[in-house]
Structure 1
Amino acid sequence: MAVETSGPDLLSVVVLLGAGVVAVPLFKRLGLGSILGYLAAGVVIGPFGLKFFSDPETILHVAELGVVMFLFIIGLEMQPSRLWGLRKDIFGLGALQVGVCALLLTGVGIATGFPVAHSFVAGAGFVLTSTAIVMQLLEERGETATPQGQRMVSILLLEDLAIVPLLAIVAFLAPMSVEAAGGMHWVPIGIGMGAIVGLVLAGKYLLNPLFGFLAQSRAREVMTAAALLVVLGSALLMQVSGLSMAMGAFLAGVLLSESTFRHQLEADIEPFRGILLGLFFLAVGMSLDLSVVAANWKTVIFYVIAFKVVKATGIYAVARLLKSSNREAIERAVIMAQGGEFAFVLYATATAVGILDGQANAILTAVIIFSMFLTPLLLVALRFLMPEEKQDLEAVEVAEGLSGNVLIIGFGRFGQISCQPLLLRGVDISIIDNDVEMIQAASQFGFKVYYGDGTRLDILHAAGAGRAQAVLICVDKAETILSIANLLKSEFPLVQIYARAYDRGNTIELIKIGVDYQMRETFESALIFGENTLVGLGVDRREAADVIEDVRRRDAERLDLQVAGGIRAGIDLMKGNAPVPGPLIKPRRAGQVINPEVAGVQPPQNADAN
């Protein structure tokens, strides 16, 4: 029975939800993951399965909407400052992997007898890894914030950005008559670039005033509707400009990521994230044309295997060239050796301009979908062949129902010392950590530490963050510190947040977030170290203490300058390019100025990074 989906249809919604509810738990129980469950369910209910859905155009629109909304959520988490921090991986590692894999995959097409244009389009489509699948896999494995995960995220960002020049290249490769070749290709490129610039300018100067005006209405649903309007409007702008709707949604998310309303938008949209992802994967499964696969099964199988093997080889070679470990290189190759959702956009464009015909488009689309199907299966096989060292949680209690007045997140060397004054004063504390060995070692010394990941909202609720008077962030990774602080500030605005900072840059970010107190992990110990060095050199202890207090005061002044006027101002002050009230350090003898630049010693460029 076919279900018409051109208008609101309750049966269509029930079929979609029912397919996911049945398939996903079954596939997860089998150890195959939720992604494969959604894909398989889409095949079963699609036009080439039980035919609950029969309109391919509607299926395509559903799939595109899923990608659009998903990339908006990704963009919302990618502040420009974070993108700038990943610039080396994005434009170094990402560009190298895309370039190498594009050349290798194009070579596969040429070696099997296809023209250069056809080979390039087919290979370029397979280069564009599925952002949705990789991000979902990283999230399920808890690796999104790890260095390995961040490198994959950087590559995905470069691949998402690459759709713009790839669409331009497809326009250049399109068959044209000599009369039409007089510069007409520059028109769509100019329109596309103009749309991107216009969207960025509108986002920078209009979005905050817009949401500020709407916030005055105090109607939460209006804010959510406005967010959706921005997303879909940006996607529409990119579409009418000849670019990808998903790119417009991603840019809108990035522009809103610096908005003061970002956390509200995240809280409103987050509940729909899993549903939208599931909807996308269901639509991908429904898009698989089994009749084309049956008629060309040898071709489909050959190119699925050839493209995956060649792309995996290129990914592994690039990873090892840039000093990644063997295991990380293999995992990256297995996870990213697949095509992605942007390939559908690229192949559709190539078909529209005459590079590909309808059958070639259908075959290549089937190759992409089968590569998506195989990725979770290959990851299961990799775990079987190269098992990870699993942490034994049997002797560890998971954080649940905790109610201490103070919650400590992280029980390493910093957290262990920080908790001692609280314990001596009889403060009721709860402690969580995600290192099982640390938890077991702490128990031998009488500390009760619960297992829990502080970057997860559900764990924070279970650990009593909402009931605590104060939360101490004592973890050691800068990005994890910021992630926890952001989450606490947005979800538990009344709780006091005390944060360990990794370095000066981390300190500035924490101040901007609005934590109640932050402390660089080595700052005070280094000052005491320097003070005792002065005493050892013959300086009077009281005078040494005055010098250290002066350093502490000047450091606080520099920090205020950097927060208020940007890091550049603080660096200029350090290098003497800005007025400094008095000498850098009080001299021991009158008239003696202890200043590195006066002494002819240039401070290192990262002198203000600690």
Structure 2
Amino acid sequence: MHESTPLITTIALALGFGLILGYLAERIKLPALVGYLLAGVVIGPHTPGVFADVKLAHELAEIGVMLLMFGVGLHFSLDDLRQVRKIALPGALLQMAAAATLGTALGIAWGWAFGGALVFGLSLSVASTVVLLRSLEARGVLDSMNGRIAVGWLIVQDLVMVFVLVLLPPLAGQLGGTAVSHDAGSPLWLELAKTLGKVALFIVLMLVAGRRFVPKLLWRVARTGSRELFTLSVIAAAVSIAYVASGLFSVSFALGAFFAGMVLGESDFSHRAAEESLPLREAFSVLFFVSVGMLFDPAILVEHPLQVLAVLALIVVINPLAAALIVIVFRYPLNTALLMQAGLAQIGEFSFILAGLGISLGLLPIEGQNLILAGALLSITANQMIFSLTGPALKWIRARSALARKLERSDDPLAELPMSTDEKFLSGQVVLVGYGRVGRRIAATLTDKGIPFVVAEQNRETVEALRARGFAAVSGNAADPAVLIQAHIARAGLVVIAVSDTFEVRRMLDTARTLNPGIEVVVRCANDEEATLLAQETAGRFFLGEAELAHNISAHILNRYGKSV
């Protein structure tokens, strides 16, 4: 390594090996994140040969953490969380409590102090938002109800971890670690109150003053027409707010950047800010994951294989199974449970951040950090395969388990139309599958024109709200024949599939055609390829968002110039 230029050398090694191993990981159908972690192992101090400067890598990783959390804040939506709060909030809390308890018990069984075992358990209880979002996007289910539930679940996990990062330093001394300096003789409750007070003051300032000032600043910069100035202003806002939050309010860089992203995420510039800052966020997130890999000692796989297997079992088997059982108990469909099971079968960025904090506070032993890193590497590597097995597993379970089919429907009152449902909803009606952004607009038009319809929707909260307003609605996955039977598809005049779940649309169409061979179908398609394939397989009308937008704009232009459409 060039000793005169350690910073350049570290960046060059990190990005270079990150590119090579990230590319190889993608080529063999693994997340690029696995390649970045392995790149850190290759250039780290635990591997013989040339290695990068670990201290500098940590400082670069701090920038990566800030930009990573800024990106999480940009995508954070209280509205999305509100839609799925009845399943995401209690589900995430119960699942995290179960995983943290088991992880803590493992740490204590291995002879660690309670504080270190607690940090270890909490690190194993939270999944990677980055890995989950990329998996959902790859399968085209990010905007589906299952996708929204999974994202809402992860948002709750992230918020819990944010508070853990805030509370851990003042509690470190009581947990057996290095006490954070404070006034002599000051009671613990007072220190916690001061910490929470500073955090609360920072949050209030961000939500009140930040919401007004930051968007106005971006608006003034945007008016210059300079793309580079706009990008600079977004990154400067993220890093500066994180720095000021740390200096004035004793808030972590991660929390400051998260709220900076959250403030921007609710402004009119959220999409552009996300788009313009993406390249730099991606580059520094690579540095973050590479720096994490540099901390990993591969010897842990040989020296403590049983401990690694225990950690992996907790991450990939026990934790996801607990989440799936919680989803089923809350009367959501089996496919939702399986998607949550696959999505939570890995750990990532928050686990690394918490482990690093635990090490710095003298709570978590180095062995614990290595076990967390080993669990992350192995679980992320296996996650794509786990996701690919959800479809076959769903078919197998439904075909062979009467109990599973019964549990999916059970005695849920929302799974059946009430006996008092008006006859107009039972014959000649429109069956509207999905009540998201598109479905709501279709429903508003049908209501305005007096056309009766029945909604089939997976979100139980949405079904409850619709019934409270007097609409006919059933809860469940429309790919399940029982759901469409309850929507009286056999006597319906039209079925409109307004969901964006690419993998379920074909099954919904097959089910509808089986129950009513002559029914007319209208389908919202995610892309041209899907529309073409569906049109070849079945008769119906298939609408693509971009095509309809172009058609409506063209019609407006022609009308403006007096031309016929």
Shorter-chain TM range is: 0.5 to 0.7
Match of 1:267 in 2: 275
List gaps (5 residues or longer) in structure 1: 391-409, 416-430, 455-459, 473-494, 499-515, 517-610
Change (3 A) 1:143 1:51: farther
Match of 1:438 in 2: 534
TM-score normalized with structure 2 length: 0.64
Deviations 1:158-210 (A, max 9, x none): 12111243235433352369945363343333222222222222322211222
Q: Do residues 88 (structure 1) and 86 (structure 2) align?
A: yes
What is the distance in 2 between the residues matched to 1:64 and 1:38? 16
SS in 2 for 1:259: coil
Q: Do residues 222 (structure 1) and 229 (structure 2) align?
A: yes
Deviations 1:242-270 (A, max 9, x none): 44322322222221123233333233223
List gaps (5 residues or longer) in structure 2: 395-441, 443-493, 499-526, 561-565
Give the alignment partner of residue 127 of structure 1, picking from 120, 125, 128: 125
What is the distance in 1 between the residues matched to 2:57 and 2:144? 35
Is residue 72–residue 249 contact of structure 1 (8 Å, CA) maintained in 2?
yes
Match of 1:427 in 2: none
What is the distance in 2 between the residues matched to 1:6 and 1:83? 44
Please give the residue correspondences for 1:352-367 in structure 2 after superposition, counting only pairs within 5 Å.
352-356=360-364, 360=365, 362-367=366-371
Match of 2:65 in 1: 67
Q: Do residues 372 (structure 1) and 376 (structure 2) align?
A: yes
Q: CA deviation at 1:373?
A: 1.5
Match of 1:202 in 2: 209
Give the alignment partner of residue 246 of structure 2, picking from 234, 239, 248: 239
What is the distance in 2 between the residues matched to 1:257 and 1:181? 38
Match of 2:195 in 1: 188
Change (3 A) 1:439 1:331: same
Report which stretch shifted further, 285-294 or 136-145: 285-294
SS in 2 for 1:323: coil
**Counterpart residue type for residue 470 of structure 1:** A
Change (3 A) 1:300 1:215: same
Change (3 A) 1:377 1:222: closer
Change (3 A) 1:27 1:364: same
What is the distance in 1 between the residues matched to 2:279 and 2:165? 33
**Counterpart residue type for residue 287 of structure 1:** L
What is the distance in 2 between the residues matched to 1:497 and 1:371? 56
Is residue 323–residue 341 contact of structure 2 (8 Å, CA) maintained in 1?
yes
Give the alignment partner of residue 76 of structure 2, picking from 75, 78, 85: 78
What is the distance in 2 between the residues matched to 1:287 and 1:497? 59
Looking at CA atoms only, which structure, 1 or 2, has the larger radius of gyration?
Answer: 1
Give the alignment partner of residue 106 of structure 1, picking from 94, 104, 115: 104
Is residue 126–residue 340 contact of structure 1 (8 Å, CA) maintained in 2?
no
Q: Do residues 174 (structure 1) and 254 (structure 2) align?
A: no
RMSD: 3.8
Q: Do residues 470 (structure 1) and 478 (structure 2) align?
A: no
Give the alignment partner of residue 324 of structure 2, picking from 305, 316, 319: 316
What is the distance in 1 between the residues matched to 2:97 and 2:497? 44
Change (3 A) 1:46 1:205: same
Match of 1:342 in 2: 350
Match of 1:333 in 2: 341
Is residue 80–residue 152 contact of structure 2 (8 Å, CA) maintained in 1?
no
**Counterpart residue type for residue 49 of structure 1:** T
Deviations 1:508-551 (A, max 9, x none): xxxxxxxx9xxxxxxxxxxxxxxxxxxxxxxxxxxxxxxxxxxx
Deviations 1:358-378 (A, max 9, x none): xx1x22222222222222443
Is residue 59–residue 287 contact of structure 1 (8 Å, CA) maintained in 2?
no
Change (3 A) 1:61 1:296: farther
Q: CA deviation at 1:69?
A: 1.7
Match of 1:137 in 2: 135
Match of 2:158 in 1: 160
SS in 1 for 2:323: helix
Q: CA deviation at 1:228?
A: 0.9
SS in 2 for 1:31: coil
Q: CA deviation at 1:316?
A: 2.8
Q: CA deviation at 1:232?
A: 0.6
Please give the residue correspondences for 1:542-581 in structure 2 after superposition, counting only pairs within 5 Å.
none
What is the distance in 1 between the residues matched to 2:355 and 2:325? 27
What is the distance in 2 between the residues matched to 1:109 and 1:369? 15
Give the alignment partner of residue 382 of structure 1, picking from 380, 383, 386: 386
What is the distance in 1 between the residues matched to 2:555 and 2:262? 26
SS in 1 for 2:191: coil
Q: CA deviation at 1:127?
A: 1.3
SS in 2 for 1:470: helix
Change (3 A) 1:282 1:13: same
**Counterpart residue type for residue 322 of structure 1:** F
Change (3 A) 1:52 1:242: farther
Q: Which has the higher helix share?
A: 2
What is the distance in 2 between the residues matched to 1:35 and 1:200? 33
Q: CA deviation at 1:125?
A: 1.8
Change (3 A) 1:115 1:440: same
Change (3 A) 1:104 1:299: closer
Q: CA deviation at 1:123?
A: 0.6
Q: CA deviation at 1:79?
A: 4.1
**Counterpart residue type for residue 382 of structure 2:** L
SS in 2 for 1:206: helix
Is residue 39–residue 285 contact of structure 1 (8 Å, CA) maintained in 2?
yes
Change (3 A) 1:318 1:351: same
What is the distance in 2 between the residues matched to 1:291 and 1:172? 32
Change (3 A) 1:103 1:57: same
**Bigger relative contact order, structure 1 or 2, given CA contacts below 8 A and separation 6+?**
2
Match of 2:55 in 1: 57
Is residue 102–residue 124 contact of structure 1 (8 Å, CA) maintained in 2?
yes
What is the distance in 1 between the residues matched to 2:53 and 2:157? 30
**Counterpart residue type for residue 268 of structure 1:** E
Match of 1:212 in 2: 219
Deviations 1:85-128 (A, max 9, x none): 34434423322322332233333334555443332222112212
What is the distance in 2 between the residues matched to 1:352 and 1:118? 12
What is the distance in 1 between the residues matched to 2:274 and 2:185? 51
Q: CA deviation at 1:150?
A: 1.6
Is residue 174–residue 350 contact of structure 1 (8 Å, CA) maintained in 2?
no
Is residue 54–residue 291 contact of structure 2 (8 Å, CA) maintained in 1?
no
Is residue 207–residue 256 contact of structure 1 (8 Å, CA) maintained in 2?
yes
What is the distance in 1 between the residues matched to 2:71 and 2:554? 28
Give the alignment partner of residue 290 of structure 1, picking from 295, 298, 307: 298
**Counterpart residue type for residue 129 of structure 2:** T
SS in 2 for 1:127: coil
Match of 2:18 in 1: 20
Match of 2:433 in 1: none
**Counterpart residue type for residue 189 of structure 1:** L
